Amino acid sequence: DVKVTQSSRYLVKRTGEKVFLECVQDMDHENMFWYRQDPGLGLRLIYFSYDVKMKEKGDIPEGYSVSREKKERFSLILESASTNQTSMYLCASSGSSKNIQYFGAGTRLSVL
Amino acid sequence: LAKTTQPISMDSYEGQEVNITCSHNNIATNDYITWYQQFPSQGPRFIIQGYKTKVTNEVASLFIPADRKSSTLSLPRVSLSDTAVYYCLVGDIWMVTGGGNKLTFGTGTQLKVEL
C-alpha cells in the first residue's frame, strides 16, 4: 500500500513564524502535491511537483513556497505565517496512474 | 478552469443505492474525472476514475455521458460506514504544468447513511 506521511497531525504557530510542513511518500512517486482544505471551499491546490527540484503553482500559491530536494520528500513552507493560513493541509502523491492521488492524513495548522 | 458543482449533502438508508452527480460544464479534452471519499480527520481516498462512458470497480460505478459535462458516482447498497464526504475532481495533472488548467476539487457532498 502507498503510504504518505505528514510529519505532524497538529501544529500551533505564532504570526510571523516560519513554518515547515513535511511530507514523505514511500512509493517512488514522481508527483507530489500540497492542498489546503477549508470548510465550504473544499480542497485547493497550493503547489505541485512533478520531479526533484521542479514545482508548479496551483490555485493559491500566495504566501507559500515549496521544496523538493529528494524524490520522496515534499516540503511546504510558510515564510511568515499569518492567521488566514490557519487550515488543514493535505499532502498527496501520484505515480504512473498520474491522476490518482494518494493522500496523507493531514496537518491541522493553527496560526495565533 | 473546469469548475465542479455537487450537492452539498445527501441522506440515504442502509441497503439503498446512492447516486451523486457532479457537474463540470467546462471540462477540457484531456481532463479525467476522479472521485474520492473522505472520513473525518483523514485524507481523501481514491474511489474510482473515468474518462468517458461507464467504469465499474469493486466499490462503485462511474457514469459519464457522451458530452462529459457531468458524471455520476453510484454506490450500490450503502452501509453506515459509507457515511463520508465525496469529492469529484476534474483535471489532468499534466495540464497543471506550464500554467495550464488546474486540478479542481468540488466542495464535496456529505453523504449520511442511516439504519
Mean pLDDT of chain B: 88
Neighbours of B97 (CB within 10 A): 13
Does B39 touch chain A if contact means CB atoms closer than 8 Å?
Answer: no
Q: Is the pLDDT of residue B113 over 50?
A: yes
> Average of pLDDT values for A38-49?
88
pLDDT for the residue A39: 86
Pick B105 or B81 by higher pLDDT.
B81
Strand order in the sheet with B53-56: B18-23, B70-75, B61-64, B53-56
Q: Quick: pLDDT tens for B15-35.
A: 999 999 999 998 888 888 999
Distance from CA of A21 to the nearest CA of B (A): 15
* Domain boundary assignment for chain B: 9-114
Backbone angles phi, psi at B80, to 5 degrees: -55, -35
CATH of domain B9-114: 2.60.40.10
For residue A96, give the chain B residue with the closest CA: B93
Domains of chain A, earliest start first: 4-111 (2.60.40.10)
Burial class (CB in 10 A: 0-12, 13-18, 19+), B49: middle
- Who among B34, B43, B106 is closest to A100 (CB)? B34
pLDDT at B101: 46
Q: Which residues of A62-88 are buried (b: 16+ CB within 10 A; e: fewer)?
A: eebebbbeeebbbbbebeebeeebbbb
CB A91 within 8 A of CB B84: no
What does the block give as the cell for B115? Answer: 439504519
pLDDT at B95 over 60: no
Give the model confidence (pLDDT) of B50-78 as tens digits: 999 899 999 999 999 999 999 999 999 99
Question: What would you report as the CA-atom Rg of chain A, rounded to the nearest whole angstrom?
Answer: 13
